[in-house]
Structure 1
Amino acid sequence: MNEEILLVADSVSNEKDLPKETIFEAIEFALASAAKKRYKIEVNILVDIDQSTGDYQTFRYKDVVDFENYEDSELHILVDSDFAEENGLKVGDKFKEQVENAEFGRIAAQAAKQVIVQKVRDAERLEIIKRFRPSLGKLVSGSVKKVTREFIIVDLGDNAEASLPRKDLIQGEIYRVGDRIKGILEESIRENRGPQLILSRSSKEMVSELFKLEVPEIAEEVIEIRAVAREAGARTKIAVKTNDARIDPVGACVGMRGSRVQAVSNELGNERIDIVVWEDDQAKLLVNTLSPAEILSIVMDDENQSMEVVVKDENLALAIGKGGQNIRLTSELLGWQIQIKGESSEEEDTEISKLIEYLGVDRNLASKLIENNLETVQKISESNIEDFAGIDGLEEDVISTLIERAEESLLEIALLELDEDDAEEETKEARKLELSDGFSEEELELLVKNEILTVENLADLATDELTEIFEIDAERAAELIMSARQEWLED
């Protein structure tokens, strides 16, 4: 009987309030580590302790593997080998041979103690995380226990600690030991260390949770926070919706004289906070989010979830924001890509497109023409070579070609406009058929389907052609056609 091992297992189990099985596993691990040191090569060692007597045996073992997993003859036995077949071994088996025990002396006992301490820490940490798991994603507070270059260790009370990485601080924040601090509780799985409690002050949830504290209507779910976009320490946009038409969601979040929103901003290092009314219609939400910038037009691409927005020139800088911050946050809040430009830029784009279409030039040359006050086909057609002097590298023959193309395009445009005017005049002159012309609604619908739209169209028909369109006797058909011809002749 090995009373020393039993004594260690009993005393540590009682002291740390851990099952004896956990202590025996730690001692087995320590004895196996001591036995491995006898070998100059890597080997697999396991120790089996009889928990009733404290006696133990040490085994060297090899795993039985297939060809794909075979690496080392000192660690593995190939399942197809003669040895495996002779001993009836299959993949997953362990072939063990007993070796000399390592003495459970001072070194082994010390190693076992270190393993036990680590297991105790792991067990305590898992218990703490289990206890705090319902608080994940919520706001918690604690005091700064330790400050390092990479982390701030926060004491959450009840023997619990959390790490606050510096990257999750708000820019410019400085904390010292003993300071009170708030943050969003998160869980992180770290390799070789298991789950850890982490705090963040830079997340969107930090803003939402602070508003829940300051605005009772949010905590009571009368007001909903529908979306948050944030650049921590600089600016946040938050979209809110009311479930009670009597309550103004923005006013409730701002508070009397801005008291509620100011309290949130103060906790976030005076971060600027914009509060807007949520709209299910993305275009309306965009208008709310970019206010007070005046939007002139919005072109939406639902398939790619993108928008092209045109604002007044004097509002462009306001809509974009410092360093593009306002439009970035707006895009994040909506979940759409947003391209924004001023009205003059939109007009210039239209001019560029026309020059590209009519003159066959590229965008770069079209832009240079506009910069030199040659922004229309009309101006280019009336220009001379000297007018192009401000455009470097443009040869005379190219300039002449541009002027010729402009003249040709101008003629085409004029002819097209003339055709459109003629068509419009014809439409004006040709009176459309109406109920007063002696037709029922059903008959008019049939005439339209057969492209008989005007009095002139009806006058061109023969009697049998009209009787084929809908059921009508020849006499009435002749009367309708003659009436139309009479009106046409009078005009």
Structure 2
Amino acid sequence: MAITSANQLELLQTAEAVAREKMIDPGLVVEAMEESLARAAKSRYGAEMDIRVSIDRKTGKATFTRVRTVVDEEEIENYQAEMTVEQAKQYLEAPEIGDTFVEEIPPVELGRIAAQSAKQVILQKVREAERDRQYEEFKDKAGTIINGLVKREEYGNVIVDIGRGEAVLRRNEKIGRESYRPNDRIRVFIKDVRRETRGPQIFLSRTAPEFMAELFKMEVPEIYDGIIEIKAVARDPGSRAKIAVISYDNSIDPVGACVGMRGSRVQAVVNELQGEKIDIIPWNEDQPTFLVNALQPAEVTKVVLDDEAGKIEVVVPEEQLSLAIGRRGQNVRLASQLTNLDIDIMTEAEESARRQKEFEARTALFQEALDIDEFFAQLLVSEGFANLEEVAYVEIDELLVIDGVDEGTANELQTRAREYLEAAAKAALDAARALGAEDSLIAFEGLTAQMVEALAKDDVKTLEDFATCADWELAGGWTTVDGQRVKDDGVLEPFGVTLEEAQDMVMTARVVLGWVDPEELVAQSEEEAEEGAEEGASEAEA
């Protein structure tokens, strides 16, 4: 096939047709044609040559040119595409390094093999352009709902036609055991869009909490308008869900608006989610109050919040325990996801027994350590003293308010408490040294003797060992395994060390050892503070 005036216009017509079919820019198709013709010309004139082809966008005329670049004589590598300054003088008046000499060459005849190669180049370029177009179209749609048509099912995964491409709904993103047949219409949430070598991969979901939030946004105009906001969503897909909402207009009830007239709005969402039961809960800034709402329909007697540990204790009547926990722990699990707190539910009897056990343990401790009778020990516990440190280092006036305690008795109590603590610290220190704890760890500020002993028992014996610890290894934490939260015990957790304190201690140890530059640490903290302030300002503007 020769590029003659008879088929010049066909090039443009073909490019237009392909671009319309694939919905891409015609210019990209023309560029692909130029590259394929250039490759064909190189196979005819020589692969070492720098041959370029330009197709006129109006007439379709293809112009073949050979380009040679002027380079330094010592750097010349390709004599077909490069030339020295001396060689360039016969073509250019005052050649300099970097100049190019372009000369037109005769068009080539495309044989069968060359034509096939050109076709492959064009198809490859078109596929790449199509993939880019598809990615650009869907990357901004992540986080939205889209309607699609089921094409087929592969190993439990559903391939969905979403208009200008295909997407995949994985088996673990389907609700329960729902199944689809070809040509079924399906409403899905675009969870992620990734650019991969085989083309953009669009992942769908029907189990994501965001899917429910978006469905409510479609059904409840007040949410779409921003009058009502969805603060949190927790789901057990296909079974039960909890959604927390708040209204920014005092005249509008957020729960009632989401339920709708005779439940019409919430029922539309329930029908889409295969009958998933939905509890709509009013959101509250006060976490205990919010938790009481989240545990509905169970009634809560008392809530005790531990901010540092991120845990919360809930006391319920005996007859409400099974309702609060829910079938297979579903109710408390969803409430925990909704509030982002670890919830410990107990009955009033269990709480009373636990408090009695704590009371007895503290009484026994004070009896032994302070060498006092049971009545006096119980009196200290009743006044709110929980440990020996409080007795030893509290202001003496706090001891004088106890009936029967004068200044002399208060001083004697504090002296005994301090002596006991010092003896316990010495014993712990001796045990730690016996286990191999080094002075670098013992002298580290923030670690008590008992902490050093616990670390040594866990084979953390030097400051270097301590500096390599993760914060959760020290303070404890939670890991999600197969959808269940599993507790990770921390070495220093029994001493009340929080994650933030553990992070600070580990980072300080790294600074002391010279692993971290303190100036860089300060700069990083300032950057994080600035970013936090900017985010807060943008949220306030919003």
The TM-score, its normalising length taken from structure 2, stands at 0.53
Q: Which residue of 2 aligns with 1:226?
A: 231
Change (3 A) 1:267 1:86: same
Q: Which residue of 1 aligns with 2:177?
A: 172
Contact 2:149–2:184 (CA under 8 A) maintained in structure 1: yes
Give how far 1:284 is off.
0.9
Give how far 1:413 is off.
1.2
State the alpha-carbon separation in 1 of the partners of residues 203 and 40 from structure 2.
32
State the alpha-carbon separation in 1 of the partners of residues 187 and 198 from structure 2.
25
**Cα distance per residue 1:193-217 (max 9 Å; x no partner):** 3434443212222112222232233
Q: Find the partner of 1:23 among 33, 36, 39.
A: 33
Residue 336 of structure 2 is aligned to residue 331 of structure 1: yes
State the alpha-carbon separation in 1 of the partners of residues 340 and 332 from structure 2.
12
Q: Which residue of 2 aligns with 1:143?
A: 149
Residue 118 of structure 2 is aligned to residue 116 of structure 1: no
Secondary structure of 2:54's counterpart equals coil
Q: Which residue of 2 aligns with 1:235?
A: 240
Contact 1:2–1:54 (CA under 8 A) maintained in structure 2: no
Change (3 A) 1:144 1:357: same
Q: Which residue of 2 aligns with 1:345?
A: 350
State the alpha-carbon separation in 2 of the partners of residues 31 and 202 from structure 1.
55
Give how far 1:172 is off.
1.0
Give how far 1:349 is off.
2.8
In structure 2, the gaps of 5 or more residues are 20-25, 56-61, 82-107, 384-399, 406-542
State the alpha-carbon separation in 2 of the partners of residues 153 and 264 from structure 1.
23
Q: Which residue of 1 aligns with 2:469?
A: none
Change (3 A) 1:241 1:423: closer
Q: Rg larger in 1 or in 2?
A: 1
**Cα distance per residue 1:338-363 (max 9 Å; x no partner):** 23333333233334435555668xxx
Change (3 A) 1:257 1:29: farther
Q: Which residue of 2 aligns with 1:3?
A: 3
State the alpha-carbon separation in 2 of the partners of residues 280 and 262 from structure 1.
28
Change (3 A) 1:231 1:47: farther
Q: Which residue of 1 aligns with 2:270?
A: 265
State the alpha-carbon separation in 1 of the partners of residues 204 and 269 from structure 2.
18
Q: Report the residue type matching 2:35 in the other structure.
A: E
Contact 1:240–1:249 (CA under 8 A) maintained in structure 2: yes
Q: Report the residue type matching 2:153 in the other structure.
A: V
State the alpha-carbon separation in 1 of the partners of residues 159 and 301 from structure 2.
51
Q: Which residue of 2 aligns with 1:51?
A: 54
Q: Which residue of 2 aligns with 1:206?
A: 211
Secondary structure of 2:223's counterpart equals helix
State the alpha-carbon separation in 1 of the partners of residues 319 and 402 from structure 2.
39
State the alpha-carbon separation in 1 of the partners of residues 54 and 36 from structure 2.
13
Change (3 A) 1:116 1:234: farther
Q: Report the residue type matching 2:17 in the other structure.
A: E
Secondary structure of 2:274's counterpart equals coil
Secondary structure of 1:87's counterpart equals helix
Q: Report the residue type matching 2:222 in the other structure.
A: E
Contact 1:163–1:197 (CA under 8 A) maintained in structure 2: yes
**Cα distance per residue 1:286-313 (max 9 Å; x no partner):** 0111123232332323334332323223
Q: Which residue of 2 aligns with 1:87?
A: 74
Alignment of 1:404-443 (within 5 A): 412-416=373-377
Contact 1:320–1:326 (CA under 8 A) maintained in structure 2: yes
State the alpha-carbon separation in 2 of the partners of residues 126 and 213 from structure 1.
30
State the alpha-carbon separation in 2 of the partners of residues 256 and 358 from structure 1.
59
Contact 1:239–1:275 (CA under 8 A) maintained in structure 2: yes
Q: Report the residue type matching 1:414 in the other structure.
A: F
Change (3 A) 1:46 1:283: farther
Contact 1:298–1:310 (CA under 8 A) maintained in structure 2: yes
**Cα distance per residue 1:89-127 (max 9 Å; x no partner):** 9xxxxx54659xx99643443343234223323323433
Q: Find the partner of 2:259 among 233, 254, 266.
A: 254
Contact 2:302–2:316 (CA under 8 A) maintained in structure 1: yes
Residue 299 of structure 2 is aligned to residue 294 of structure 1: yes
State the alpha-carbon separation in 2 of the partners of residues 284 and 426 from structure 1.
40
**Cα distance per residue 1:13-56 (max 9 Å; x no partner):** 34323322232335567899x99xxxxxxxx9997434376658
State the alpha-carbon separation in 2 of the partners of residues 236 and 286 from structure 1.
15
State the alpha-carbon separation in 2 of the partners of residues 203 and 142 from structure 1.
17
Give how far 1:258 is off.
2.5
Give how far 1:229 is off.
1.3
**Cα distance per residue 1:228-285 (max 9 Å; x no partner):** 1122222211011122323322122223333322221111011111111111111111
Seq. identity, %: 41
**Cα distance per residue 1:163-195 (max 9 Å; x no partner):** 333332212111111111111234421420343
Give how far 1:11 is off.
6.2
State the alpha-carbon separation in 2 of the partners of residues 186 and 177 from structure 1.
22
Secondary structure of 1:294's counterpart equals coil
State the alpha-carbon separation in 2 of the partners of residues 206 and 156 from structure 1.
17
State the alpha-carbon separation in 1 of the partners of residues 156 and 78 from structure 2.
46
State the alpha-carbon separation in 1 of the partners of residues 122 and 36 from structure 2.
6
Secondary structure of 2:194's counterpart equals strand
Secondary structure of 2:177's counterpart equals coil
Q: Which residue of 2 aligns with 1:438?
A: none
Give how far 1:334 is off.
1.6
Q: Report the residue type matching 1:413 in the other structure.
A: E
Contact 2:49–2:80 (CA under 8 A) maintained in structure 1: no
State the alpha-carbon separation in 1 of the partners of residues 311 and 35 from structure 2.
59
Residue 282 of structure 2 is aligned to residue 280 of structure 1: no
